[in-house]
Amino acid sequence: QAHLVQSGGGVVQPGRSLRLSCAASGFSLRTAAMHWVRQAPGKGLEWVAVMSALLHDGSYKYYADSVKGRFTVSRDDSKNTLDLQMNSLRAEDTALYYCARDRKVGDNDAFDIWGQGTMVTVSS
Amino acid sequence: DIQMTQSPSSLSASVGERVTITCQASPDSSHYLNWYQHKPGKAPKLLIYDVSNLESGVPSRFSGSGSGTDFTFTISSLQPEDVATYYCQQHDYLLRFTFGPGTKVDLK
Burial class from Cβ neighbours inside 10 Å (0-12, 13-18, 19+) for residue A50 reads buried
Task: Please report the pLDDT score of residue A106 as a whole number.
Answer: 84
Task: Please report the pLDDT score of residue A23 as a whole number.
Answer: 97
Inter-residue contact A64 to A79 (CB < 8 Å): no
Query: pLDDT at residue B22 above 80?
Result: yes
Q: Identity (one letter) of the amino acid at A116? A: Q
**Does B95 contact A115 at a Cβ distance shorter than 8 Å?**
no
Task: Please report the pLDDT score of residue A37 as a whole number.
Answer: 98
* Residue in A65, A107, A115 closest to B43 by CB: A115
Collapsing DSSP to helix, strand or coil, B73 comes out as strand
Task: Please report the pLDDT score of residue A45 as a whole number.
Answer: 97
pLDDT in tens, A46-61: 999 999 888 766 788 9
Task: Please report the pLDDT score of residue B97 as a whole number.
Answer: 92
Specify the DSSP class assigned to residue B92: -
Distance CA B81, CA B58 (A): 12
* Average confidence (pLDDT) over A71-79: 94
Closest-approach residue (CA) in chain B for A4 = B43
Distance CA A107, CA B10 (A): 31
Query: pLDDT at residue B29 above 90?
Result: no
Closest-approach residue (CA) in chain B for A35 = B97
DSSP chain A: --EEEEEE-EEE-TT--EEEEEEEESS-GGGS-EEEEEE-TTS-EEEEEEE---BTTB--EEE-TTTTTTEEEEEETTTTEEEEEE-S--GGG-EEEEEEEEEEETTEEEEEEE---EEEEE--
pLDDT in tens, B47-99: 999 999 999 999 999 999 998 889 999 999 999 999 999 999 998 877 789 99
In sequence order, what are the beta bridge partners of A20?
A8, A84
* Average confidence (pLDDT) over A90-119: 95
